[in-house]
């Protein structure tokens, strides 16, 4: 028998043996988000030792995935792989008593999570609109060492590396150091990248990953000045590229290329990863390093009986009919 309950803190979920599928599926990650965001809500379905939980947050427009800027993916917490479909359906049924709209964002489908959640909410009677919300570039090494991987990179990239690599000094760390992180924050503030909403969450995450032995960080200096930094983690057989930045006036030195190759060499030949994940965003430069890409999905689930949802449902149906007509 499945029981469904709601919890305001992730600490209530500690009794279960959750399977951690990457950095954004651990209780520690959701604890960071919970401490930085209001209105967290964890919907839990359990039966015996098996459980599934949806990390959510309350908004004026309904429930949404508990996530933030830094997460590559979001997924239900689960004690089994794949998550129990009956438990997902129990959650979808019960949540309809709590809200008339729920948005599940950044779902991956190579893990089956997007399809499983889509099926569960449809079975529970919700109207589900499924759309791509982002792109993930990644690399399957397929047995290659660093030398073979580098030989497969575009010729222009390899030429840049040969010309510029000796112009910067690289320091690679596997433990968090406050001064290095402060250098990264200074570089980021002087880079081309936009201001972020919660940099303290990223720092706390980096510190957690360092304690767990998953932290990888590289800093580039020119004439003694820190000009570029990158933060990666190694989680099982996958390396994740979280942040990279260089000073605007250092572009001509291509310090990012030098740092990226240094970290690739370490995670491939030292850590022995088989896959590298470049996060979200369809940035053109990622194609120089990555060879595959896949979609991330957003499910917007509407309770059919709610009048405020009817215009959205009607528009979604109309768009689907137009696509079918255009395809036909």
Rounded to whole angstroms, what are the CA distances from 231 to 42, 60, 62, 126? 29, 35, 34, 40
* Interatomic CA distance for residues 222 and 55, integer angstroms: 44
pLDDT at 23: 96
Assigned domain for 229 exists: yes
Assigned domain for 286 exists: no
Do 114 and 213 have their domain in common?
Answer: no
Q: Which domain CATH number covers 258?
A: 3.40.630.30
Q: Tens digit of pLDDT for each residue in 236-293?
A: 999 999 999 999 999 999 999 999 999 999 999 999 999 999 999 999 999 999 999 9
Do 84 and 184 have their domain in common?
Answer: no
Do 169 and 212 have their domain in common?
Answer: yes
- Given a contact cutoff of 8 angstroms between Cβ atoms, the answer to whether 63 and 57 are in contact is yes
What is the domain range of residue 65? 3-135+294-327
Which residue blocks in 190-309 are alpha helix, DSSP H?
Answer: 199-211, 255-265
More confident position, 144 or 49: 144
Do 194 and 123 have their domain in common?
Answer: no
- At 237, list the tokens: 């057989």
> Token match 């979920």: residue?
13
3-state secondary structure of 2: coil
Q: Which domain CATH number covers 300?
A: 3.40.630
Domain count, the chain: 2
Do 171 and 267 have their domain in common?
Answer: yes
- At 152, list the tokens: 């497969």
Do 121 and 153 have their domain in common?
Answer: no
Looking at the chain, the whole-number percentage of residues with pLDDT higher than 90 is 90
């Amino acid at each position: 028998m499945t029981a469904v309950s709601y919890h305001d803190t992730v600490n209530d979920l500690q009794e279960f043996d959750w399977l951690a599928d990457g950095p954004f599926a651990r209780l520690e990650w959701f604890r960071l988000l919970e401490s930085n965001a209001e209105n967290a809500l964890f919907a839990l379905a359990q039966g015996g030792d098996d459980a599934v939980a949806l990390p959510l947050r309350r908004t004026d427009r309904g429930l949404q995935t508990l996530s933030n800027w830094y997460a590559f993916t979001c997924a239900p917490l689960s004690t089994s792989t794949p998550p129990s479909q009956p438990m997902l359906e129990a959650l979808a049924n019960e949540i309809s008593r709590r809200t008339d709209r729920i948005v599940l964002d950044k779902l991956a489908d190579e893990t089956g999570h997007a399809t499983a959640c889509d099926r569960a909410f449809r079975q529970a009677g919700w109207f589900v609109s499924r759309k791509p919300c982002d792109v993930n570039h990644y690399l399957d090494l397929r047995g290659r060492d660093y030398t073979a991987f580098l030989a497969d990179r575009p010729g222009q990239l390899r030429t840049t590396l040969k010309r510029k690599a000796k112009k910067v000094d690289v320091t690679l760390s596997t433990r968090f150091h406050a001064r290095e992180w402060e250098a990264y924050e200074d570089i980021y503030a002087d880079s081309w990248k936009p201001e972020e909403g919660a940099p303290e969450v990223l720092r706390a995450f980096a510190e957690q990953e360092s304690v767990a032995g998953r932290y990888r960080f590289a800093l580039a200096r020119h004439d003694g000045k820190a000009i570029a930094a990158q933060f990666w983690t190694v989680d099982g057989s996958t390396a994740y590229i979280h942040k990279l930045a260089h000073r605007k006036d250092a572009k001509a030195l291509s310090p990012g290329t030098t740092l990226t190759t240094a970290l690739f060499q370490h995670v491939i030949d030292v850590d022995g990863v088989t896959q590298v994940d470049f996060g979200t965003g369809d940035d053109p430069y990622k194609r120089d390093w990555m060879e595959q890409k896949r979609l991330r999905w957003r499910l917007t689930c509407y309770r059919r009986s709610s009048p405020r949802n009817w215009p959205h449902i009607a528009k979604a149906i109309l768009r689907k009919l137009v696509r079918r007509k255009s395809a036909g």
